[in-house]
Homo-oligomer: A and B are copies of this chain.
Amino acid sequence: MIELKKITEDNFIDAFGLKLAPGQDRFVSHPIRSLAQAYVYREQCQPFGIYAEGKMVGYVIVIYDYDVPEYDIWHMMIDESMQGRGHGSAALDKVLDYIKTKPFGPSGRITLTCNRDNTGALALYKSKGFAETGAADEDEIELSMTVD
């Protein structure tokens, strides 16, 4: 049973302690760096801890881009010790459920980027309905889907 819980003063230390798996640090920002960005975008984003059986096992942030407009999913990660159990897939379902509540604005467009070498994550995103838009920034490719 995967849950998302908002990052607050009660659980941020757990997020600080999450560990990216070896090699994944070149694909994903650490939650500390992500929360630093959350400070400046605090009016338009929501960082979450990903919980399995009451323990924080990962992190993700949802940000609303008012310019497009669209929801962006950033910095999703599962702690290196908790990978390979389907937590990423279950968490992504919860993230999509959250975005469908349209917490920041009415757009139904959801966008994320993924390194083209991060094959596991790419397969996961495509399994949920994300498709490549054709946009890319070097090896970081953009994927998007639309929800009601």
Please name the residue on chain B nearest to A32 by beta carbon. B36
Contact of A40 among B8, B37, B41 (CB under 8 A): B8
- Give A140 Cβ to nearest chain B Cβ, in Å: 17
Chain B residues contacting A39 (CB-CB under 8 Å) are 7, 12, 35-36, 38-39, 42, 47
Chain B residues contacting A37 (CB-CB under 8 Å) are 12
As for how many copies of this chain the complex holds, the number is 2
Size bracket, chain A contacts:
10 to 19
Residue of A7, A37, A47 with most chain B CB atoms under a 10 A cut-off: A37
Bound Cα distance from A34 to B16, whole angstroms: 11
Bitwise interface map of A from 1 to 29 toward B, beta carbon under 8 Å scored 1, else 0: 00000011100100010000000000000
Bound Cα distance from A40 to B36, whole angstroms: 10
